[in-house]
């Protein structure tokens, strides 16, 4: 059975452990669509309820929403509740909190 692109994205998002984050590009590479990070972003616009959407960030560790927006505040609060600390520029240190998809067990 061929799974849709969004379904492949959501499968990965479901695996991200609490307190860890991944970038859109990491997900794209993992699902063997390395040039598709924007499509991952579009898929995340329709992320099903119950998935940890808040654990997906830009590759720079910044949140994908405008600073101060309700979405930004919600995502930041959810990550902080999991122990993710933010730097002074409101970004996440990807080296510290990045989940290494390639070494995880499926």
Helix H, strand E, coil C: the string for 59-83 is CCCCCCCCCCCHHHHHHHHHHHHCC
pLDDT at position 60 over 70? yes
pLDDT at position 14 over 80? yes
In whole angstroms, give the CA distance from residue 27 to residue 53: 12
**Amino acid 101: pLDDT:** 80
**Amino acid 104: pLDDT:** 62
In whole angstroms, give the CA distance from residue 86 to residue 18: 15
**Residue matched to tokens 């994205």:** 9
- Average pLDDT rounded to a whole number, residues 80-106: 89
- What is the overall mean pLDDT for the chain? 94
Tell me the pLDDT band of 55, cut-offs 50, 70 and 90.
Answer: very high
State pTM to two decimals. Answer: 0.92
């Amino acid at each position: 059975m061929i799974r849709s692109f969004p379904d492949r994205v959501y499968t990965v998002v479901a695996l991200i452990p609490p307190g860890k984050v991944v970038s859109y590009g990491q997900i794209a590479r993992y699902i063997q669509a390395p040039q598709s990070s924007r499509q991952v972003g579009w898929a995340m616009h329709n992320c099903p309820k119950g998935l940890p959407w808040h654990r997906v960030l830009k590759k720079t560790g910044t949140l994908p929403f405008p600073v101060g927006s309700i979405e930004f505040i919600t995502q930041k609060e959810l990550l902080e509740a999991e122990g993710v600390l933010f730097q002074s520029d409101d970004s996440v240190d990807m080296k510290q909190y990045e989940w290494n998809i390639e070494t995880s067990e499926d």
